Amino acid sequence: MIIPQSTERVFRPLPQLVIEANVNPQQLARAHAAANQDPLAYWEEAAQELEWFHKWDAVLDDRYAPRFRWFPGAQTNIVHNALDRHITTGVKNKLALIWEGEAGDTRKYTYYEVYREVNKLANALRSLGLGKGDRVVLYLPLVPQAAFAMLAVAKIGAVHCAVFPGFSAKALRTRIQELRPRLVITADGFYRGGRLIALKNAVDEALERGCDFVEGVIVVRRAGLDTPMNESRDLDYDAIVRRERWEAATEVMGSDDPLFILTTSGTTGTPKGILHGHAGYMVGLARTLHWLFDIKPTDIFWCTSDLGWITGHSYVLYGPLIAGTTTVMYEGHPLYPQADRMWDIVDRYGVTILYTTPTVIRMLMRYGDQYPAMHDLSTLRLLASVGEPLGVDAWLWLYKNAGHSRCPLLDTWWQTETGCAMIAPFPVSVLKPGSVHRPLPGISVDIVDEAGHAVDHGTLGRLVITRPWPSMPLDFVRPEDFDAAWQQNAWHTGDLALRDEDGLIHIHGRADDVLNIAGHRLSCAELELALQTHKAVAEAAVVGVPDRIKGEVAKAFVVLTPEFASLEDHGEIIRLLRQHLRKEVGPVAVLRSVVFVESLPRTESGKIARAALKALGEE
């Protein structure tokens, strides 16, 4: 875990930016005050800015607390707000999506073109018999069809469940078995770091036995790979959309109806499935785009996340489209073919807002100042980061080298569970590197001790959200996971944080046994279970250790089975374990080092004493 150092340096917005901002400092102060006094009125006003088939009976129903219901009685569909409603306005012919493949191939789609693609796919899905409530797993690279698939699934009222393509066949299988989708949408392969990576074969492997509930697999032809097709199950994306009409009705969804499920790691070995809905989620998103990201009609918005993460759902796809802005999608590696690729993209498309992660920033920083200097970055007006503690050095580097000391850099805190950004400075705020500033208007957080009492400024505690918020999860796939998060009348985020002397919040990483490897959440237990399935491993414990680029990586403590204990070549065992983890979980599970031990330290109750191991790991 990298603990952000405190700094006395602050950075003020340029006067021109304050004048032009969607929300100026006075309006922001008024919004905070009004939202504190009457949060429901604040969120109701936000909801009024969107279109509804039928308005709500109340803003909030707390009868089933902590499963709060936002906008009960309302009817809508997020796709109506992200797409359909733009077709009758000037946004119709504006670019919705700029896509670039790693090899440099590009595709651009106007809102009207996206609308047509989505409708055709929606019709094709309906022809297959899919409809409201059906689950569809998306195991797709960052190609335009991934965006169309999410929107088409949502349009017909089905539920998309994206699985990051960096997860292995095994990890995909676990998720498919838990989610029981009727359909899987995938691609033959994709390009990353100059390599062609096959994908469809992982789906075949994942579905091998006992997944008869999956009726079909749609395959996007991205890489021209000669992919074996299972006649009775597999369908070609182009073939099924080709004959469909370009108009499709948008399913009417209640405010409680799920839009998507995303699985993310918690403290236990099995990932948690989190359900988000149409209504509250889109209200939260719309507000952050207009207020926090200060969207203007001419913006080109580039969030570098994969669509398979919540950041991709919220800020590559739904948020930008709801705001009617142009969103950029880049398929490949940020350093391919060399370390100026991102700056080249910013330059060529005139990107105005760049939203990325600390790992990417640290990677770019390591390659040096000369790469951003190779390009004209004058179109940039706002920078933002999410996913891990950013740290002061990386903050200052990006601010200077990409923003030329004139673009605000917003360190935004949130998580899969929150749906959209929760704690962040505004473009007009006085910025303090290392801090994520304050909660947005309408969001209330606190930092508490184990008993749930607020801690003093300067003291590390647990970050909790103390009032329901519109983009909160509807539920979890396993309801007990949801109940575990609501304790002492607040939502427990699992993060440690403190307030500094100015009242600004600093995030110090996770309080639980969750690793944050390059912004990807993985639980220690998940990796331990995976390691234990290898025949060399009798017992394993995993802890996080700091890493200069990825923020954190995994370190394993392993007790070998008798069969392997006498082997001299530990290097070979480590290689096998790394390979095994890659196969079981995927390339996201970066195992830095392995220490072989006789036994694992345990607490009195028999749990692995991770704190003791962590202290060893940091030596």
Q: Where does this chain touch ligand WTA (CB under 6 A) — which range of 28-36, 126-134, 381-389, 479-487?
A: 381-389
Q: Where does this chain touch ligand WTA (CB under 6 A) — which range of 168-176, 410-418, 464-472, 564-572?
A: 410-418
Measured distance CA(78)–CA(68) in Å, rounded:
19
Q: Which of 77, 186, 416, 429 binds ligand WTA (CB under 6 A)?
A: 416
If the CB atoms of residues 342 and 514 are measured against ligand WTA, the closer one turns out to be 514
Q: Where does this chain touch ligand WTA (CB under 6 A) — which range of 33-41, 181-189, 412-420, 572-580?
A: 412-420
Residue 169: enclosing H or E segment and its boundaries?
A: helix 169-179
Q: Which two tokens stand for residue 93?
A: 């012919």
Burial of 146 (0-12, 13-18, 19+ CB in 10 A): buried
Q: Where does this chain touch ligand WTA (CB under 6 A) — which range of 115-123, 304-312, 340-348, 598-606?
A: 304-312
Q: Which of 387, 391, 425, 434 binds ligand WTA (CB under 6 A)?
A: 387
Q: Does residue 288 interact with ligand WTA by CB under 6 A?
A: no
Q: Does residue 435 interact with ligand WTA by CB under 6 A?
A: no
Q: How many Cβ atoms are within 10 Å of 147's Cβ, its own excluded? A: 26
DSSP state of 504: -
Query: What is the contact mask toward ligand WTA in residues 311 to 340, using x (rule: CB under 6 A)?
Result: x-----------------------------
If the CB atoms of residues 311 and 325 are measured against ligand WTA, the closer one turns out to be 311
Q: Does residue 425 interact with ligand WTA by CB under 6 A?
A: no
Which residues are within 8 A (CB) of 467 and not within 5 positions of it... i.e. 6 or more apart?
A: 39, 443, 444
CB of 293 to ligand WTA, least distance (A): 14
**Torsion angle, alpha carbons of 572, 575, 580, 582, to 10:** -170
The residue with tokens 């207009």 is: 290
Number of shown-chain residues binding ligand WTA (CB under 6 A): 22
Backbone angle region of 140, left / alpha / beta, with phi > 0 → left and psi within -120 to 50 → alpha: beta
Query: What is the contact mask toward ligand WTA in residues 491 to 510, using x (rule: CB under 6 A)?
Result: --xxx-----------x--x
Q: Which of 50, 316, 436, 537 binds ligand WTA (CB under 6 A)?
A: 436
Q: Where does this chain touch ligand WTA (CB under 6 A) — which range of 374-382, 384-392, 426-434, 477-485?
A: 384-392
Q: Quick one: how far is CA 319 from the chain centroid?
A: 13
Q: Which amino acid, residue 107?
A: R
Q: Which amino acid, residue 474?
A: L
Task: Enumerate residues 120-179 that contact ligand WTA by CB under 6 A.
Answer: none
DSSP sequence for 378-427:
TT--EEEE-SS---HHHHHHHHHHTTTTTS-EEE-B--GGG-S--B---T
Q: Which of 414, 469, 476, 491 binds ligand WTA (CB under 6 A)?
A: 414
Q: Does residue 310 interact with ligand WTA by CB under 6 A?
A: yes
Q: Does residue 275 interact with ligand WTA by CB under 6 A?
A: no
55-65: b (≥16 Cβ within 10 Å) or e: ebeebbbeeee
Q: Does residue 551 interact with ligand WTA by CB under 6 A?
A: no
Q: Does residue 521 interact with ligand WTA by CB under 6 A?
A: yes
Q: Where does this chain touch ligand WTA (CB under 6 A) — which range of 24-32, 306-314, 465-473, 562-570?
A: 306-314
Q: How many CA atoms lie within 13 A of 511 on its CB side?
A: 17
The residues of the shown chain that bind ligand WTA, judged by CB under 6 A, are 264, 309-311, 386-389, 411-416, 436, 493-495, 507, 510, 516, 521
